[in-house]
């Protein structure tokens, strides 16, 4: 392997900017090249970070730069599979952003491409690298929750459809379920010990739409988002996901709703329950016969850090030090099965049973 790990960015949009900023903080890594089908976006990002090798054609980049070691795939969901498989076939290790793919069939093809080429395929479930996840994992490993049999995950945006390709089902594959719900489905499943999903019952709605008429700004908008972009995704979803160990996850996620923003994540076990919030974490249990609420003091947490830097450092360590990947492709496939089942159940009105 070359002296510095040579990374290519595939996609030059918002999250690519975050990846580049994080890679720049990791020793032994060089952001070597960048590719985007949108030349304007490509040049804005490449100029900002001083990246000389820039391409609008992925095949050209991969054939002209055989010295590349790895890539971050940061493109529209509909192109995750194609870009990832091309990079793997060119001999690169790949970190693909969430959701892993547009559907389960694509996710399986990506996993098989990684296996065929003997390369790493890591999925960008960044919340696993959050300080809260580290603390929760630690509490769980010490058996403070006991047998976790219920989780509740809410990722509720009162007004948060980013527009652009995000609201175009052809490019995104769906709305809040596949965009933000995916984060908390994965996080809770990870903390529950990665049980296999066995069935899903879900309802999705499109009641409010993108509400472009509102005067309130929405974050996360792609650079070229315009009111003329299609708005063809759900704005609301609720789902019950059963796992093979008998545990259940209740999910609620929205882009637009007449309720406040809410990021509640709850894990409930036989010995304790845990409320995971960005501001505070509370362990609910009993002490000497009394119900007790233990507030976790996260101030000056010694292992605190930026979750994107932690995620990409892990990707680099997997490649350069042979560290076991914490976010392997197989987890991405399981999550894609859940996402597909949510949409199928919502469409048919019936529970979907998974293999």
Ligand X SMILES: NC(=O)c1ccc[n+]([C@@H]2O[C@H](COP(=O)([O-])OP(=O)(O)OC[C@H]3O[C@@H](n4cnc5c(N)ncnc54)[C@H](O)[C@@H]3O)[C@@H](O)[C@H]2O)c1
- Site residues for ligand X per CB under 6 A: 10-16, 35-38, 41, 58, 74-77, 79, 83, 97-98, 124, 126, 164-165, 179, 222
CB of residue 204 vs ligand X: minimum separation in angstroms? 18
CB of residue 79 vs ligand X: minimum separation in angstroms? 4
Number of H helices, E strands in the chain: 11, 15
Query: CA dihedral in degrees (16, 80, 331, 153; nearest 10)?
Result: 70
CB of residue 257 vs ligand X: minimum separation in angstroms? 20
**Which of residues 52 and 297 has its CB atom nearest to ligand X in the complex?**
52
**Which of residues 172 and 345 has its CB atom nearest to ligand X in the complex?**
172
CB of residue 225 vs ligand X: minimum separation in angstroms? 8
Which H or E element spans position 71? strand 70-73
Q: Judge residue 3's burial from the number of C-beta atoms within 10 Å of its C-beta, 0-12 exposed, 13-18 middle, 19 or more buried.
A: exposed
User: Of 256, 231, 253, 262, nearest to 158 (Cα)?
Assistant: 256
β-strands 121-124, 148-156 pairing: unpaired
CB of residue 45 vs ligand X: minimum separation in angstroms? 8
**Which of residues 164 and 273 has its CB atom nearest to ligand X in the complex?**
164
Does residue 290 have a cis peptide bond before it, meaning omega lies within 30 degrees of 0?
A: no
**Which of residues 160 and 164 has its CB atom nearest to ligand X in the complex?**
164
Report in angstroms the alpha-carbon separations of 277 from 67, 133, 205, 230, 266: 43, 10, 26, 33, 9
**Which of residues 179 and 331 has its CB atom nearest to ligand X in the complex?**
179
CB of residue 126 vs ligand X: minimum separation in angstroms? 5
CB of residue 44 vs ligand X: minimum separation in angstroms? 9
DSSP characters over 290-319: EEEEEEE--TT-TT---HHHHHHHHHHHHH
β-strands 70-73, 5-10 pairing: parallel
Report in angstroms the alpha-carbon separations of 4 from 70, 91, 314, 344: 11, 17, 16, 45
β-strands 265-269, 197-205 pairing: unpaired
**Which of residues 10 and 202 has its CB atom nearest to ligand X in the complex?**
10
**Which of residues 15 and 237 has its CB atom nearest to ligand X in the complex?**
15
Position closest to ligand X via CB: 13
């Amino acid at each position: 392997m070359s002296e510095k790990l040579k990374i290519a960015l595939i996609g030059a949009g918002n999250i690519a900017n975050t990846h580049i900023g994080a890679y720049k903080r990791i020793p032994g890594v060089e952001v070597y090249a960048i590719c985007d089908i949108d030349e304007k976006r490509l040049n804005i990002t490449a100029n900002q970070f001083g990246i000389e090798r820039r391409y609008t054609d992925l095949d050209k980049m991969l054939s002209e730069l055989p010295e590349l070691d790895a890539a971050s795939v940061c493109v529209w969901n509909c192109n995750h599979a194609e870009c990832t498989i091309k990079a793997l076939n060119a001999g690169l290790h790949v970190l693909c952003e969430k959701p892993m793919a547009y559907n389960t069939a694509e996710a399986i093809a990506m996993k098989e491409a990684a296996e065929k080429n003997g390369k790493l395929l890591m999925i960008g479930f960044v919340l696993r690298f959050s300080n809260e996840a580290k603390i929760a994992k630690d509490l769980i490993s010490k058996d403070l929750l006991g047998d976790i049999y219920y989780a509740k995950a809410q990722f509720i945006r009162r007004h948060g459809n980013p527009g652009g390709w995000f609201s175009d089902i052809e490019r995104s594959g769906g709305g809040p379920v596949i965009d933000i719900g995916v984060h908390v489905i994965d996080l809770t499943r990870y903390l529950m010990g990665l049980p296999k999903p066995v069935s899903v019952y879900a309802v999705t709605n499109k009641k409010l739409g993108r509400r472009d008429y509102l005067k309130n700004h929405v974050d996360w908008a792609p650079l070229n988002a315009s009111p003329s972009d299609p708005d063809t995704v759900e704005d609301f979803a609720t789902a019950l996901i059963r796992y093979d160990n008998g545990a259940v996850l209740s999910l609620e996620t929205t882009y637009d709703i007449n309720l406040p923003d809410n990021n509640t994540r709850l894990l409930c076990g036989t010995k304790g329950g845990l409320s995971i919030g960005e501001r505070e974490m509370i362990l609910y249990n009993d002490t000497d016969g009394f119900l007790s609420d233990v507030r976790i003091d996260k101030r000056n947490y010694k292992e605190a850090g930026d979750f994107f830097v932690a995620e990409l450092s892990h990707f680099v360590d997997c490649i350069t030090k042979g560290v076991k990947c914490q976010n392997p492709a197989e987890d991405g496939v399981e999550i894609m099965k859940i996402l597909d089942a949510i949409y199928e159940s919502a469409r048919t009105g019936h529970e979907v049973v998974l293999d």
